[in-house]
A = this chain, B = another copy of it.
Amino acid sequence: MSIQETIKQMAVAAKKASRNMANLSTVAKNNALLKMAEALLAQKPYIQQENEKDLVAGRTKGLSSAMLDRLALTDKVIDSMVGGLREVAALPDPVGEIDEMAKRPSGITVGRMRIPLGVIGMIYESRPNVTVDAAALCLKAGNAIILRGGSEAIHSNLALAKVLQESLAAEQIEAAAVQVIPVTDREAVTAMLALDDQIDLIIPRGGEGLIRFVAENSRIPVLKHYKGVCHVFVDGSADLEMAVNIVMNGKVQRPGVCNALECLLVHKDIAAAFLPKVWSALKGAGVELRGCPQSKAILPEITAALPTDFGMEFLELILAVRVVDDLDAAMAHIIQYGSQHTEVIVTNSYGNGQRFLREVDASAVMINASTRFTDGGQFGLGAEIGISTTKLHAYGPMGLKELTTRKFIVYGEGQVRA
């Protein structure tokens, strides 16, 4: 059977499973999730033995130690997947929720009922824990999921899927509800992206190259973010100590993630006072600062920024810095270089804060808080399946609700249209 046929068969089975899943009781879904948690613990030796195959292959291939770290299903990683499953079981079930019921002038009563999307296709790299986290969220939202992970994690992903599927069977849920594609070449991705009759939504997670490939080749709607180029603008009225804390947290706490800070904008009125303060803290944490000419005039020892440093997602201990004339100049910089992920103003001006909140076009806009808060858990969504920086369907962190949609329901007593 060709790759195309294999994947088509999997997608047809997923579609069929999804029809039954839409009507599963909350109890059945939660039981399956808790059963999965138990099964991961019980089958830890098997999972780790399969994971070891990936690790051996990875070492032979010469993967970096960071990549091997991300690949390893240590006891701690498995515990965290188990915790994730239990947390998702504890979340409220969005499916079946009814709201906006209202009687219309015609006499009919119209409302909206939340329903699953159907089949979700997940395309991701390295980290095998995505297999479990994504499957849990999709199951809770009543969707089937088809997972296509990276080649370096294939044994781990297939082992995890096997354990999850056994737990589904125990609750009479079809195994096709959670499937890992056993083929890891790019042809498998292309085949998946053509199945718009079976798959309702594609969520890619990984590097910009993978995401662009998916977006450009998909006939299925894609929820994605390419990169997180997050800014902090320190306004003229900012509390400078607060601003230092927010900058440090954004840049240093976890520089490799998409909500890390990449560029600092400083109001010219406070640049001479603020830049030495923040530079002293950043330097202490090993951060390289790349500044515009005005910043360099204040801090001669920092690197001169190249034009490409603005709009750059460094993902390491490097920060671009630019002195701007005012709020409008800061917002113009953000329009030009931002990635619609997270934008922050530090200010004590009510008016400037409100203008920034209203006018900046990003999935998360903040006053006086760290960029690092952009996260499904921190925002109260419970858990996160990804972040969208495009506006259709979802914008920002996506939780269970973003894996559903709403249909209209109508109660009548025989009304017809006049």
Which positions in A face B, CB cutoff 8 Å? 19, 22-23, 96, 102, 104, 106, 108, 110, 113, 115, 117-118, 200-201, 215-216, 219, 221, 239, 242, 245-246, 248-249, 253, 335, 357-359, 361-370, 372-374, 378-380, 390-393, 395-397, 405-417
CB distance from A276 to the nearest CB of B (A): 20
- Across the two chains, which residue of chain B brings its CB closest to A223? B392
Q: Which 7 A-B pairs rank lowest in CB-CB distance, beginning with the nearest?
A: A369-B412, A249-B416, A366-B410, A242-B414, A372-B417, A393-B393, A391-B405
Cα A396 to Cα B410 with chains together (Å) = 12
Task: Please determine whether A417 and B253 come into contact, CB atoms closer than 8 angstroms.
Answer: yes
List the B side residues contacting A378 at CB < 8 Å. 104, 106, 108, 110, 417
Q: How many copies does the complex hold?
A: 2
Would you call B216 and A219 a contact (CB within 8 A)? yes
Q: Is B221's CB under 8 angstroms from A369's CB?
A: no
Closest to A104 in B: B380
Contact partners of A405 in chain B: CB under 8 A: 391-392, 395
A243 to B159, CA, bound (A): 54
Neighbouring B residues of A412 by C-beta, 8 Å: 366-370, 373
What chain B residues lie within 8 Å of A406 (beta carbons)? Answer: 395
Q: Known pairs A221-B221, A373-B417. 19 more at Cβ < 8 A?
A: A22-B361, A23-B359, A104-B378, A118-B391, A200-B390, A221-B392, A242-B414, A246-B416, A357-B409, A361-B407, A363-B407, A364-B409, A366-B412, A367-B412, A368-B415, A369-B411, A369-B416, A392-B393, A395-B408
A115-B407 in contact (CB<8A): no
Q: Pick the residue among B102, B373, B392 that contacts A108 (CB under 8 A).
A: B373
Chain A interface mostly: mixed
B367 touches A411 (CB 8 A): yes
The answer for the CA separation of A100 and B410 in the assembled complex, in Å, is 26
Docked-complex contact A370 and B417, CB < 8 angstroms: yes
CB distance from A219 to the nearest CB of B (A): 7
CB <8 Å contact, A374 and B408: yes
A414-B379 CB under 8 A given contacts A200-B391, A407-B396:
no
Give CA–CA (A151, B56) in the complex, Å: 63
Residues of B within 8 A of A219 (CB): 215-216
CA distance A175 to B412 in the complex (A): 45
Q: Closest B residue to A406 by CB, please name it.
A: B395
Residues in B whose Cβ lies below 8 Å from that of A410: 364-367, 369, 373
6 contacts between A and B (CB under 8 A): A96-B358, A102-B380, A104-B379, A200-B392, A364-B408, A367-B412
Check A246 against B414 for contact (C-beta < 8 Å). Answer: yes
> A117-B391, A392-B200, A408-B379 known; A239 and B373 CB under 8 Å?
no
